[in-house]
Chain A
């Protein structure tokens, strides 16, 4: 299975990852091997077979009730940057 460097660059962009040239080469090779192997799933006859999402395909519902949840300050303790009870990020709109 042939994968181009351009495809890996495109996929890395979708995944929000920067790759060095060496990483692009390495992952291009790796993906060729792995996807060739992964492609063997297409040898299985699945005519008329449904997709299995988990063990048991049914929806789980609960009542939409107000409950005690997390403390804002407690959650913000893990934020790399915060200000006045909010996450701080660079300016988005010029």
Chain B
């Protein structure tokens, strides 16, 4: 067995037992990246040279008996919208092609404090807008289970790199499903934490009231370990929640007896691929066998949540992306006579088509005459959605749904109709609108051999119940026996 095949917690144990060094681990992943990157195209930039140096430094510290984090020397991959000091952060956009952040995101400070080894920055849809990673300015990432298919998005590089064993684990970000949907498409585990649990400081903002950074991992245990590392209050993010710090690994208990699971019927209706539906219903049955109670329920605001999402997310995006003006950082046009030209031409040349579409939609719903009918109304509907979740969590501990209506589709076959594309986010966006946490866990393969994921939705700040339920499923099933085939 190669080192790169192991989970982070297995690597941690080997390091603790002095069976391997961080350098050996890092070199194993570096070799794997060199071998698979031409096929998978998961990275925007790799940092393998500095990674090896960092690993050697950790090994020296261990040898000299220095007290380090138990995860010191474990490699990690980072989505390219999370700021890394001294290393390019491009958001997979021409606009930030050469941007080097002068500071680390808070999650990076935490990761560096524990002496993890960063292997590079992972590909994504431009500014996290998309669900297939095809909107990256630089490259289209392939799905390791079939290289002709998309990895999902927007954290497609992160999910593909984890699935392909190019990194043991990675960070993504999730505004409307961007951690969970690619995790589902690539057969790995992805968590969108409760809004406010993880600091957004240094995460390039798409929709500030919805964005959360989340872990993408090979198994549930790694997911809980990585959340432990990145969660916590941060005074640099005023929306960061001041809640008690928890040890999520304590929730890794193989027991769901008495767990109350709701199956919201709106997530199993029209538009959900029959194979996906069947696989998730099998998950429900498995939970019943393991002692949980499963009951159909209803969250009738689901359709409205999607409309609300596109209004709010685009409104916030149009405002957040207003900062890109070609003056202080980012792309500047060569074609200008005056200041206004710099603004307009830099933005027009620096942003791709999907980003422009969302800026236009967002500017429209915020413009005079439409503000009340769209933006203000959507803010009220958000309250209704939140109340609907609140009501459901009086009766249920978790809700079980598909993560995505379909499995991964062929590269280049994404709809040209943006509305159709947006409708595919139906299973994931309402979770961000509600601010609640959700996890995607792999549960089978479709007839083409592509992974299917199920989603568990939890109550605010109740990641523990999600982990307990996900862990129990994982321990009593055997998805991990399936391996990506890199089919060409």
List A residues at the B interface (Cβ < 8 Å). Answer: 7-8, 11-12, 14-19, 23, 27, 30-31, 33-35, 37-44, 46, 49-56, 60, 62, 70-71, 74-75, 77-81, 87, 89-92
Complex Cα–Cα for A4 and B471 (A): 53
CA distance A41 to B376 in the complex (A): 10
Most buried by B among A8, A44, A75: A44
Contact B417 A50 (CB under 8 A): no
Interface of A is mostly: loop
From known contacts A31-B361, A37-B419, A40-B303, infer whether A50 and B383 are also in contact, taking CB-CB under 8 Å: yes
A27 contacts B332, C-beta separation under 8 Å: no
Q: List 27 A-B contacts (CB under 8 A).
A: A12-B360, A17-B360, A18-B348, A31-B360, A31-B361, A33-B419, A35-B374, A37-B419, A38-B307, A40-B304, A41-B304, A41-B311, A44-B384, A46-B377, A46-B380, A46-B381, A52-B380, A70-B103, A75-B102, A78-B329, A79-B328, A80-B326, A80-B331, A89-B327, A90-B337, A90-B339, A92-B338
Do B307 and A37 touch across chains, with their CB atoms under 8 A apart?
yes
Cα distance A74–B419 in the bound complex, in angstroms: 42
Main secondary structure of the interface of B (DSSP, over half): helix
Number of interface residues of B (CB under 8 A): 70
Q: How far is the CB of B241 from chain A (nearest CB, A)?
A: 7
The interface residues of chain B lying within 8 Å CB-to-CB of A14 are 363, 367
**A-B interface, 7 closest residue pairs, ranked by CB to CB distance from nearest:** A80-B332, A51-B379, A78-B329, A46-B380, A60-B238, A55-B435, A52-B382
Of A7, A15, A54, the contact of B195 (CB 8 Å cutoff): A54
Chain B positions near chain A (C-beta within 8 angstroms): 98-100, 102-103, 194-196, 209, 235, 238-239, 241, 301, 303-304, 307-308, 310-311, 318, 322, 325-332, 336-339, 341-345, 347-348, 351, 353, 356-357, 359-361, 363-365, 367, 373-374, 376-384, 386, 417-419, 422, 435, 460
Given contacts A54-B239, A70-B103, are A17 and B435 in contact (CB under 8 A)?
A: no
Cβ contact within 8 Å between A79 and B360? no
Contact between chains at A38 and B311 (CB < 8 Å)? yes
Identity of the chain A residue whose Cβ is nearest the Cβ of B300 in the assembled complex: A44
Considering the chains assembled together, what is the distance between the CA atoms of A40 and B384 in angstroms? 14
> Which residues of A sit under 8 angstroms from B196, Cβ to Cβ?
54-56
A39-B307, A49-B383, A87-B327 known; 10 new pairs, CB 8 Å cut-off, are A12-B360, A16-B347, A18-B345, A38-B311, A41-B304, A41-B377, A41-B381, A75-B102, A78-B98, A78-B329
The interface residues of chain B lying within 8 Å CB-to-CB of A87 are 327-328
B372 to chain A, nearest CB (A): 10
Q: Identify which of A8, A16, A55, A78 contacts B100 (C-beta below 8 A).
A: A78
Q: Nearest Cβ distance between residue A24 and chain B, in whole angstroms?
A: 10
Closest chain B residue to A69 by CB distance? B103
Whether B419 lies near A43 (C-beta < 8 A) is no
Q: Is the CB of B386 within 8 A of A52?
A: yes
Instruction: State in angstroms the CA–CA spacing of A41 and B345 once bound together.
Output: 35
Q: Nearest-CB distance from B295 to chain A (Å)?
A: 25
In the complex, are the beta carbons of A42 and B373 less than 8 A apart? yes
Are A38 and B209 neighbours in the complex by a CB distance under 8 Å? no
Is B102 a contact partner of A74 (Cβ separation < 8 A)? yes
A15 and B345 within 8 A (CB): no
In the bound assembly, the distance between CA atoms of A18 and B345 in angstroms comes to: 7
Contact B364 A31, beta carbon cutoff 8 Å:
yes
Query: Contact check: which of B100, B301, B347, B378 meets A77 at CB < 8 Å?
Result: B100
Residue of chain B at shortest CB distance from A59: B238
* A34–B332 CA distance with the chains assembled, in angstroms: 31
Please tell me which one of the listed residues B329, B342, B376, B382 contacts residue A89 in the complex, with CB atoms under 8 A apart. Answer: B342
* Complex: chain A residue closest to B382, CB-CB: A52
Contact of A41 among B307, B318, B327, B347 (CB under 8 A): B307
Least CB distance from A64 to B in Å reads 13
